[in-house]
Structure 1
Amino acid sequence: MTPLLTTKGLSRSFGGLHAVRDVDFQLLPGEIRAIIGPNGAGKTTFVSLVCGRIEPSTGAIVFDGDDITNLPAHQRVRRGIAYTFQITSVFANLTAYENVALSVQRALIDKHQDRAPQKRAAALHRGVMEALERTGIASHRAALAGNLSYGHQRLLEVAMGLALKPRLLILDEPTQGLSDGEIESFIGLARDISGEATVLLIEHNMQVVMALADRITVFNAGRILAEGAPEEIRSNVAVQNAYLGTAADA
């Protein structure tokens, strides 16, 4: 199977700090891939390079066969890459509905420019409600985003990503701030999403990682330390020493 995403020798330095070092990475279509590792391992920098938030110092990024290394972030969104942030980036003074509508409107402009205004309005409403319902926050659609709990803001951001109809959905610590029940619902949602999009997630909750991931990539000191199926990673001594022992104690 041809990879959906490939990075070749991807690196990013900030002054003397090598946040990401010479990373070769492949992600297959329809996969749920988890990225784990200790704080400061380079995980968020890596996905920020993939989505175009920051530029690489060296290396290349290929998405669906095309080199996107020099594409700005908004053009990557148009190609089907959606990213939710480690820290929520919702528009606090807009309602949950309006936040998601911004994403749906972007998708409609890109895909249905010739659609009549009435039909576009109906499609907008359907798209917003579908995303809100799938993430379990439709009942909060009229609430200002800034008034939502942190966990619901996280889910709202996932809804905004889903509304873009991405081919690759990148989630940075999506379960942070969620209750146990919300985490269980998120696991089901992520599995559902993988039927229509590839999922790449950074996650510290190892129960979520082990329940969801087809494969796991472990970062340490800006490099890939190990990759493999969940059981392979669980039994990897180097991973245990670098991360899993600490994660289990947390």
Structure 2
Amino acid sequence: MSAPILSTRGLSRAFHGLQAVSNVDFDLPPNEVRALIGPNGAGKTTFVSMLIGRIPPTGGRIAFDGADVTDLPAHARVARGMAYTFQITSVFSRLSVHENVALAARRRLGGDAAAVDGAVTQALARVGLGDRADDAAEDLSYGHQRLLEIAMGLAQKPRLMILDEPTQGLAESEIAAFKVLIRELAAETTILLIEHNMAVVMELADRITVLNFGEVLAEGTPAEIHANADVQAAYLGTGGADA
């Protein structure tokens, strides 16, 4: 069995005495699509923020690609092969779609203009924005800005993509195209998907991790999670949405 590309041991975070994430052990094998779900306030955002280096843990360790990255800043984790799309879009609104992706591509390719342009064209084509390259990012719909973020991640050729609510704001036809894209990407990279659309989760995920009150409530295949009585009581049965 392959060593995990991402793992945590005892990962915890408290805010002013409130335990948001408590002693989480988590292993993500290479080239898996893993979904992270849970009710509002389950600790998903805090957990992911620690994974990517936005906030430090108050306990535990994080390993990425065999190295301890617990104390590394976010940009150093990106340089090692992590890419992350935010729940709230973080594109540069006044730059063109092309330039947004080019900024990300330059992190990997440096000043090789031809290589950067090629990477941008390929990434935009994959997310269905090839015909919007010259548009200002602020002129895109919210859903298309989410796709632009994914293109920015793809341009970095990451070993791990963390996608936070990627289908939010997408039309049904765009969600269908997104699912095709994720299936293609699964052959190239590892994906951690934080997603409220349970139909998307159940269709795309190889395995699902369920957080509740900052702890891992359950982990398993979509069929196992769907049949889990504890998960039904805490999340699926309530119709709760991720946050």
* TM-score normalised by the chain length of structure 2: 0.97
Q: CA contact under 8 A between 1:204 and 1:247: conserved in structure 2?
A: no
Q: Which runs of 5+ in 1 are unaligned?
A: 110-116
Q: CA contact under 8 A between 1:131 and 1:162: conserved in structure 2?
A: yes
Q: CA contact under 8 A between 2:39 and 2:240: conserved in structure 1?
A: no
Matched, 1:126 2:118: yes
Tell me the equivalent position of 1:197.
189
- Displacement, 1:249? 9.6
Tell me the equivalent position of 2:25.
24
What does residue range 1-250 of structure 1 map to in structure 2 within 5 Å?
1-109=2-110, 120-247=112-239
Q: CA contact under 8 A between 1:31 and 1:198: conserved in structure 2?
A: yes
Extract structure 1 runs of 4+ deviating beyond 4 A.
none
- After superposition, give the CA deviation of every residue in 1:96-125 in whole Å (9 maximum; x if it has no partner): 11100000011113xxxxxxx6xx111010
Q: CA contact under 8 A between 1:216 and 1:229: conserved in structure 2?
A: yes
Q: Structure 2: which amino acid aligns with 1:141?
A: A
- After superposition, give the CA deviation of every residue in 1:13-40 in whole Å (9 maximum; x if it has no partner): 1112211111000000000000000111
> What is the DSSP-based 3-state SS (H/G/I as helix, E as strand, rest coil) of the residue aligned with 2:162?
strand
* TM-score normalised by the chain length of structure 1: 0.94
- After superposition, give the CA deviation of every residue in 1:158-205 in whole Å (9 maximum; x if it has no partner): 111111110000000000000000001001101111111100010010
Q: 1: CA distance between counterparts of 2:36 and 2:240?
A: 16
Q: Structure 1: which amino acid aligns with 2:52?
A: C
Q: Structure 2: which amino acid aligns with 1:212?
A: L
Q: 1: CA distance between counterparts of 2:87 and 2:30?
A: 23
Q: Structure 2: which amino acid aligns with 1:199?
A: I
Give the 3 Å change call, closer, same or farther, for CA 175–3 of structure 1 in structure 2: same
Counting matched residue pairs gives 241
> What is the DSSP-based 3-state SS (H/G/I as helix, E as strand, rest coil) of the residue aligned with 2:21?
strand
Q: CA contact under 8 A between 2:40 and 2:240: conserved in structure 1?
A: no
Q: CA contact under 8 A between 2:196 and 2:241: conserved in structure 1?
A: no
- Displacement, 1:45? 1.1
Q: Structure 2: which amino acid aligns with 1:240?
A: Q
> What is the DSSP-based 3-state SS (H/G/I as helix, E as strand, rest coil) of the residue aligned with 1:227?
strand
- Displacement, 1:48? 1.0
Q: 2: CA distance between counterparts of 1:149 and 1:66?
A: 39
Q: Which runs of 5+ in 2 are unaligned?
A: none
Q: 1: CA distance between counterparts of 2:50 and 2:108?
A: 22
Q: Percent identity?
A: 61
The two structures, once aligned, show a CA RMSD in angstroms of 1.3
Query: Which deviates more from structure 2 when the two are superposed, residues 9-18 or residues 149-158?
Result: 9-18
